[in-house]
Every structure is written in C-alpha cells, then in structure tokens.
Amino acid sequence: MHKSQAGALAAVAALDEPTRRRLYEYVARQPEPVSRDDVAAALSVPRATVAFHLDRLVDERLLVVVGHERRSGRSGPGAGRPAKLYRRSDRHVSVSLPERQYELAGELLAAAVEEADETGGAPREILGRRAREHGVRLAAGAPDVVATLEENGFEPRAEGGEVLLGNCPFHRLARTHTQLVCEMNLGLLEGMLEGAGDHHLRARLDPRPGLCCVRLAPA
C-alpha cells in the first residue's frame, strides 16, 4: 500500500470516533479559526476532551494550528496562556481499495493537453513522455522496480520470470478510454524500470482479465 494511502486510512480512522468527528465538522464549518473554548461552548463538550481530540486531528493533519491569541484582552503576568486557534487543513483525504490513482492520471492528462496547446505537439506522444518521466522520478533510488510497483498500488507478483500486476490504479479510466490510458500506463512503467536501473525486464502491453494491461517480461 502506498504510504499516502496508509496515511489516509489513519486519518479516516481518526474520524470514526463520534465526538472527534463532531469537533472536526464544527471547526470545518467556521469561517474563522476557533479556540478550544469556542468548540467546548458550542458543542457542550468538556474542554479537556476538546483539547485531546483537536490535537489528535492536528496529528493526523486534518486540522492545523494557525496561531495563538489571548482572548481575555489582557497581557503580562496573570493574563493566562494564549489560546491555540484551529482551522481545517488543506489536506485532501481519499481512500480507495483496491488502490486507485485517478488524481495522478488527471495531472498527467492535463499537463499533456496544456503542453500540446502551447507547442502544437501530439497529445498522446506528450502524455507518454510525461508518464515515463514521472515513472523515472518515482523509481529513482528505489531498491528495485517491484518495490516501486508495490508502493504505487500495482500489486506486483512474480510468475515464470515475469512480473504480473494484479491491480490497475487507473481501472475505471482504462475501461472507458482503454488505448489512451494503457499507453499512459505503459509509459509510466517504462519510466519506473528506467528509474530503478532495471535492464532485465521490459514493460509490454498485454491486457488479460483481472490484471493490469501492462506486464513486465524478460528483456
């Protein structure tokens, strides 16, 4: 499982606690950052409980502390500690099992269209190149290409000298735009092989039921 996917699962699990979810939803709806006292008063939850849950949400990067403020209006000795102010973070959490990476597909496709519009190049060729370049970056410094495939949700498994991929992170797109997405996927995996420095395997298009459309065969 990709590390970001594992982190997303942890964040979703944090919101499974009913009181914590209520606190998160309250903070998310406020136009301005709020303090623990604000939340406690609004939801009739003990302040100590509010503090515990808000800081847990900060640990999961669902909320952020944006500053401190003395709500008493006083300063100096005896004025008390400044109150933490919380707001919803900019983090986007999405969980999919099996793992899907539609955001990556969207980024690659959008970048290819923009470059084609600027340069007059062929969008498909640009998409393949950009996918390959991204694959190189993903696998750079990896111990082997299988580790990179595993990390990015392809569910690789060795079979007869080949590496078959049990999951396509772009499954729904590949069903409706098969040739385009499979070519993008091929470029991505070719880049992973290059980035990992693996010259013993070659990425090939070979759609099979229940598998990714690309397999890695001996070069």
| pLDDT tens-digit series, residues 124-178 | 999 999 999 999 999 998 889 999 999 999 999 999 899 999 999 999 999 999 9
* Same domain, yes or no: 70 and 120: no
- CATH classification of the domain holding 27: 1.10.10.10
* Same domain, yes or no: 64 and 140: no
In DSSP notation, 15-70 reads TTSHHHHHHHHHHHH-SS-B-HHHHHHHHT--HHHHHHHHHHHHHTTSEEEEEEE-
Sort 188 into a burial class: Cβ within 10 Å, 0-12 / 13-18 / 19+: buried
Enclosing domain of residue 146: 102-218
* Same domain, yes or no: 106 and 204: yes
In DSSP terms, 68 is beta-bridged to 84
Sort 132 into a burial class: Cβ within 10 Å, 0-12 / 13-18 / 19+: buried
For position 12, what pLDDT does the model report?
A: 86
For position 134, what pLDDT does the model report?
A: 98
Q: pLDDT tens digits, residue range 33-62?
A: 999 999 999 999 999 999 999 999 999 999
Domain count, the chain: 2
Tell me: pLDDT of 70 over 80. no
For position 94, what pLDDT does the model report?
A: 73
- The mean predicted confidence, pLDDT, of the chain is 90
Last residue of a domain, one of 88, 112, 137: 88
Tell me: pLDDT of 3 over 90. no
* Same domain, yes or no: 39 and 113: no
* Same domain, yes or no: 61 and 134: no
For position 136, what pLDDT does the model report?
A: 97
Question: Could you tell me if residue 179 is inside a domain?
Answer: yes
Question: Could you tell me if residue 43 is inside a domain?
Answer: yes
* Same domain, yes or no: 111 and 84: no
Tell me: pLDDT of 111 over 60. yes
H helices of the chain, in order, are: 3-14, 18-29, 36-43, 47-59, 102-119, 123-139, 145-151, 171-176, 178-196
Question: Could you tell me if residue 96 is inside a domain?
Answer: no
Last residue of a domain, one of 88, 111, 126: 88
* Same domain, yes or no: 84 and 175: no
More confident residue, 91 or 68: 91
User: Please, what's the b/e burial string for 8-21 (b: 16 or more CB within 10 A of its CB; e: otherwise)?
Assistant: beebeebbeeeebe
* Same domain, yes or no: 84 and 141: no
> How far is it, in rounded angstroms, from Cα 173 to Cα 158?
26
For position 5, what pLDDT does the model report?
A: 67
Percent of the chain predicted with pLDDT > 70: 92
Angle at CA of residue 153, ends 167 and 124, nearest 5°: 75
Instruction: Determine the average pLDDT of the residues in 205-213.
Output: 92
Query: pLDDT class for 1, splitting at 50, 70, 90?
Result: low
* Same domain, yes or no: 62 and 158: no
